[in-house]
Chain A
Amino acid sequence: MEKMNCLKVINLKAKIHNQEILRGVNLEIPRGEVHAIMGKNGSGKSTLAKIMAGHPAYEVTEGQVLLDGQSILEMEPDERSRAGLFLAFQYPVEVPGVTIANFLRAALQARLPEGEEIEATEYYARLYEKMDLLKIPRNFTSRSVNEGFSGGEKKRCEILQMAMLEPKYAILDETDSGLDIDALKIVAEGVNSMRCPERGMLVITHYQRLLEYIVPDRVHVMVNGRIVLSGDKDLALKLENEGYEWVEQLESVSS
């Protein structure tokens, strides 16, 4: 029996330009939990996030990704999104000329059945409420998506989108990179406010710093395209203090 109410990755292998990047990843994020994946640059963390979201550049050669028991690897990225999967990008992409307000409205509209329209007053009320939470000024809505944004603004905008789309599962890819400590706190607060029994989250980072503010239920360590070790939040601290070398040795033993 396949377990429902979790985001499950089973023996996932993937490559790009004939180079194998994921070499059999296993992972299970139940709703209501926050998991973290740590690992050095190039270990395959971000690739895992992109593949789960359906980036067309990668080729999945083996394995499964199940969202609440449903296989999503055959689905288009937009279908996965509407099924409840959200990815906060490490490098959010600029969409010139398209305002945040219009972009989010189009994204929400895409979730409605044919013929139904977003109610404008309600929409703006909700948008402003979430923006206040993330300390985003009101004039932000009329700026083009990510165009000319500072690093911090980009990351906050990702969290704003997550808050508006209310996904079942959210993957946050290096959401802490490029943030100063104040911005980090705001972003973490936004993420924490979305923790709830109906939502699972996967936080990808290579610093322990973020995990001080978003305390994970589980921590996984990725080395060379595989999860080689899992533990509780203390594992993050240990990695911070002792580095990754000892885990890498574990990896070479296991393979």
Chain B
Amino acid sequence: MPVEEKPVIDIDRSIGDFSYDIEYEYDAGYGLTERTIDYICDVKGDPDWIREFRKDALKKFWEKPLPTHWASRDLENIVFEKIRYYLAKDKMPKRSWDEVPKEVKETFERLGIPEQERKFLAGVEAQFDSEAAYSNIKAAIAKQGVIFVGSTEGLHKYPEIFRKWFGKVVPTGDNKFSALNSAVFSGGSFIYVPPGVKVKHPLQAYFRINAESFGQFERTLIIADEGSEVMYMEGCTAPRFETSTLHSAVVELVALPGAKIQYITVQNWSNNVFNLVTKRGLAFEEAEIKWIDCNIGSRLTMKYPGVVMKGRKARGEVISIALANVGQHQDTGAKMIHGADETTSNIVSKSISIGTGRATYRGLVNIPRHLKGCKNNTECDALLINANSRTDTYPAITVRGQGNACQHEASVSQISEEQIFYMQQRGLDEGQAMSLAVNGFVNDLVRQFPIEYSVELKRLIDLEMEGSVG
């Protein structure tokens, strides 16, 4: 059977790329110097130890080279002098919903984004009225003693607990971008769940959206005390209105003995964005940390959620879906560091490359010699849609000692001409057939997302696959 070159998928990513001029009350200006740090600290009223922390981080950021010895050289195209590192308090927007491009409104409509969230996402509202939308849930969790505030409020109001863990899971100097985040962070969440408390509702970043929370340099710290359980969700499937091209977040999770944390991310960046994120969790005895991560869009995403299993029988899991469309590079994966006996970890990663899109999986698994009864399972599957789509897998697995087990499975597949023909014979057009096959490929992972996300994800995949064949 002749393998016909399928035409490159052509997707109109400009949908997410529109922008307005915005005036901010606080603007640190372009470039990054000690003065930028002082400006941020003054505006935010940071305590001295944070000012020190930031300045130390800035030095480390300058010292560290870009990781281009292993990562994409596209990083060299980031012009650090042309970035504004702190913007806050969007003044009253001078635009209205009527000015939002029709296609953007349609996309929100088709993704089923709730009415009240659309205006914020489209950048016509600086504030998302979270009080009205979620006050019941907020009251319910407050009654349980759960702290759920912005990171700035967290460090001001709860310094003892904040300071104990802040920067301990992801050290400032972990990599160049964690150093950058540590220097200029703003926004993000701080959550503390008291011992034994099981938070029924998933906590969403939406609950406390403000001008900062979707910032470029978010910093999130979640601490689940002994035996507690919490689920956190961030992001959404809608294309986001962007003012900046560099996003570099740091997320730290601490699961104390017997605690469970699930952290769910769905992101759909516009394709001018560098999304360089460091996410790591620390799991104590019999604690569980699970990252569920879905990355769509962006120019380059580098993200490898990790779990350090520090206590006996701790468990780490990463479930990830990446979709790389034309001109996009999803460089994602997972890190599992086993630090105690009988710790287990599981990684399931699925990627889809469309057109010139490129998906890279990097996995690091480390089980040292002195441990016993540790297990890791890794599965990574890649789906290539077009002849010029690309996928790479770089697993780095170190398993030493007796009685530790490790299993790694990887597959690369393509949607075959025969599959498409079969589905077309039943009446689905080529695009619908392709969409259905892609949804099928990620179906088992999508099911692990909360229901409202999984529905949105399916619709989003349909949208991304539209016009993918021609």
Contact = CB atoms under 8 A, between A and B. Distances in A.
Interface of A: 16-17, 53-57, 76-78, 80-82, 86-87, 89, 92-98, 102-104, 106-108, 110-111, 144, 161, 165
Interface in B139-195: none
A78 B1 contact: no
B430 A56 contact: no
A117 to B, nearest CB: 15
A97 B444 contact: yes
A70 B251 CA distance: 62
B424 A98 contact: no
Contacts of A111: 427
A144 B427 contact: no
Contacts, number: 86
A93 B424 contact: no
Contacts of B98: none
30 contacts: A16-B1, A17-B2, A54-B421, A56-B417, A57-B2, A57-B417, A76-B424, A76-B430, A78-B425, A78-B428, A78-B433, A81-B427, A82-B427, A86-B425, A87-B425, A89-B422, A93-B416, A93-B418, A93-B419, A93-B421, A94-B419, A96-B440, A97-B441, A98-B439, A103-B423, A106-B428, A106-B432, A107-B427, A108-B427, A110-B428
Given A57-B2, A106-B428, 16 more contacts: A53-B421, A54-B424, A54-B425, A76-B429, A77-B424, A78-B425, A81-B425, A86-B425, A92-B422, A93-B416, A95-B437, A97-B443, A97-B444, A107-B428, A110-B429, A144-B440
B432 A110 contact: yes
Contacts of A16: 1
B424 A103 contact: no
Most central of A17, A78, A87 by chain B CB within 10 Å: A78
Contact of A77 (B421, B432, B439, B444): B421
B119 to A, nearest CB: 27
A82 B427 CA distance: 5
B436 interface: yes
B21 interface: no
Nearest to B415: A95
Interface residues of B, number: 27
B440 to A, nearest CB: 3
Main secondary structure of the interface of A (DSSP, over half): mixed
A103 B417 contact: no
B426 A107 contact: yes
B470 to A, nearest CB: 12
B261 interface: no
Given A57-B1, A110-B432, A97 B442 contact: yes
B421 A55 contact: yes
Contact of B427 (A17, A95, A102, A110): A110
A81 B424 contact: yes
A57 B418 CA distance: 10
A212 to B, nearest CB: 28
Interface in B169-225: none
Contacts of B2: 17, 57
A201 B416 CA distance: 28
B350 to A, nearest CB: 10
Contacts of B444: 97
Given A95-B436, A97-B442, A106-B436, A56 B421 contact: yes
A103 B437 CA distance: 10
